[in-house]
Structure 1
Amino acid sequence: MTDLPLSGIRVADFTRVLTGPFATMLLGDLGADVIKIEPPGGDDTRGWGPPFQVGEGGRESSYFLSVNRNKRSVILDLKTGEGLEAARRIVAGSDLLVENFRPGTLERLGLSWDELHVRHPRLIYATITGFGLSGPYRDRAGYDVVAQGMGGMMSYNGDIGGPPLRVGVAVADVFSGALITQAILAALYRREQTGMGTRVDVNLLESVIALGSSQVGRYLATGEVPVPVGNDHRSIVPYGTVRCGDGYVNIAVGNDTLWQRFCGALNLTALGTDPRFVTNEGRVNHRAELDMLMLGALAAFTRQEMMDRLDEAGVPCGPVNDLAEVFADPHVQARGVAVTVPHPTLGETTVTAPPWRFGGEPLPVRRAPPTPGQHTAEVLAALRHTGAADADLKSLDCAQPEPEQPGQGVQGTGRE
Structure 2
Amino acid sequence: MTEAPRDNGIPTRTGPLAGLVVLDITRVVAGPFCSMLFADLGATVIKVEHPDEPDYARTFPPFVGDEGEQLSAFFTQFNRNKLGITLNLKSPGGSALLKKLVRRADILVENFRPGTMDKLGLGYEVLRQENAKLIYTAISGYGRTGPNASKPAYDNTGQAAGGLWSMNGYPDRPPVRVGTIIGDLAASLYAAIGTLAALREADKTGLGQIVDVSQQDSVLTLTENAVVRYTAKKEVASPLGNEHPFVRPYGQFPCKDGYVFFGGYTDKFWAITCALFGEPDMAVDPAIDTMEKRFDPAVAEAKVYPLLNRWFSHYTKAELEDMAGDKVPLSAIKTIAEVVEDPHIAARNMILNVPIAGKLIGMFGLPIKLSGAVEEAPQAAPAPGEHNDLILAELAGLSLQEVSELKTGGAI
Q: Please, what TM-score do these two structures have when normalized by structure 1? A: 0.88
Structure 1 residue corresponding to 2:119, chosen from 83, 108, 131: 108
Give the equivalent residue in structure 1 for 2:344: 331
- Cα offset, 1:61, TM superposition: 1.5
Taking structure 1 as reference, are residues 377 and 413 closer, same or farther at Cα in structure 2, changes over 3 Å only? closer
Question: CA distance change for structure 1 residues 384 and 30 in 2, over 3 Å: closer, same or farther?
Answer: closer
Counterpart residue identity of residue 179, structure 1: Y
- Deviations 1:157-212 (CA, angstroms, capped at 9, x unpaired): 11232211111111111011000100001011111111111111110111111111
What's the counterpart of residue 60 of structure 2?
48
For 2:67 and 2:349, the matched residues in 1 are separated by: 27
Matched, 1:249 2:263: no
CA distance in 2 between counterparts of 1:191 and 1:254 reads: 47
Number of the residue aligned with 2:244? 233
Task: Report what 1:174 is aligned to.
Answer: 185
> Can you list the C-alpha shifts for 1:265-300, whole angstroms capped at 9, x where unaligned?
123434322223211111111322222343233212
**Matched pairs, number:** 391
Residue 308 (structure 1) aligns with: 322
SS, match of residue 22 in structure 2: strand
Quote the RMSD (CA, aligned, Å).
2.2
Task: Name the SS of the counterpart of 2:322 in structure 1.
Answer: helix
**For residue 209 of structure 1, what is the aligned residue in structure 2?**
220
Is the CA contact 1:77–1:411 (under 8 Å) kept in the aligned structure 2?
no
Q: Secondary structure at the match of 1:58?
A: coil
Separation in 1, partners of 2:320, 2:396: 65
Distance (whole Å) between structure 2 residues aligned to residue 108 and residue 79 of structure 1: 9
Q: Which residue of 1 aligns with 2:85?
A: 74
2:112 aligned with 1:98: no
User: 1:101 Cα shift?
Assistant: 0.4
- TM-score, normalised via structure 2 length: 0.89
The yes-or-no answer on 1:353 pairing with 2:365 is: yes
Q: In structure 1, how many angstroms separate the alpha carbons of the residues matched to 2:363 and 2:383?
A: 15
Deviates more, 1:178-187 or 1:137-146: 137-146
CA distance in 2 between counterparts of 1:262 and 1:5 reads: 44
**1:381 counterpart = 2:400:** no
Q: Specify whether residues 284 and 254 from structure 1 end up closer, same or farther in structure 2 by C-alpha distance, changes over 3 A only.
A: closer
The reply to whether residue 288 of structure 1 matches residue 301 of structure 2 is yes
* Aligned residue in 1 for 2:155: 144
- Please, which moves more after superposition, 30-39 or 110-119? 110-119
Q: Secondary structure at the match of 1:45?
A: helix
Q: Quick one: which amino acid aligns to residue 207 of structure 1?
A: S
The answer as to 2:313 corresponding to 1:299 is yes
Contact 2:101 2:396 in 1 (8 A): no
Structure 2 CA distance, aligned partners of 1:253 and 1:293? 13
CA deviation vs aligned residue, 1:40-81 (integer Å, no higher than 9, x gap)? 2310111123x2112486111222122111111111111112
Structure 1 runs (4+) greater than 6 angstroms displaced? none
Query: 1:229, 1:79 → 2: CA distance?
Result: 48
Q: Does structure 1 retain, via aligned residues, the 8 Å contact 2:45–2:82? A: yes
**8 Å contact from structure 2 (residues 99, 127) kept in 1:** no
Cα 1:412/1:172, change in 2 over 3 Å: farther
Deviation at 1:366, TM superposition (A): 4.2
Task: Name the amino acid aligned to 1:298.
Answer: F
Which of 216, 219, 230 is equivalent to 2:230? 219
Matched residue, 1:405: none
Taking the aligned partners of 2:408 and 2:87, their CA distance within structure 1 comes to: 5
Superposed counterparts of 1:113-124, under 5 Å: 113-124=124-135
| 1:157 and 2:171 are equivalent in the alignment | no
CA distance, structure 1, for counterparts of residue 73 and residue 149 of structure 2: 32
Q: Output the CA distance in 1 between the equivalents of 2:373 and 2:43.
A: 17
Mapped contact 1:377–1:409 kept (Cα < 8 A): no
| 1:269 and 2:292 are equivalent in the alignment | no
SS at match of 1:67: helix
Give the Cα–Cα distance (whole angstroms) in 2 for the partners of residues 201 and 190 of structure 1.
Answer: 15
Distance 1:347 1:409 in 2: 31
Task: Report what 2:203 is aligned to.
Answer: 192
Give 2:311's aligned amino acid.
Answer: A
Secondary structure in 2 matching 1:357: coil
The alpha carbon displacement at 1:258 in A equals 0.6
Aligned-pair identity (%): 37
> Distance in 2 between the 1:412 and 1:167 partners?
41
Cα pair 2:258 2:316 within 8 Å, conserved: yes
Note the residue ranges of structure 1 that are not aligned, 5 or more in a row: 388-407
Q: Mean alpha-carbon deviation: is it higher for 175-184 or for 105-114? A: 105-114
* Structure 1 residue 35, shift from structure 2 partner: 0.6
CA distance in 1 between counterparts of 2:183 and 2:67 reads: 36
Contact (CA 8 Å) 2:92, 2:411: kept in 1 or not?
A: no
Distance 2:131 2:31 in 1: 22
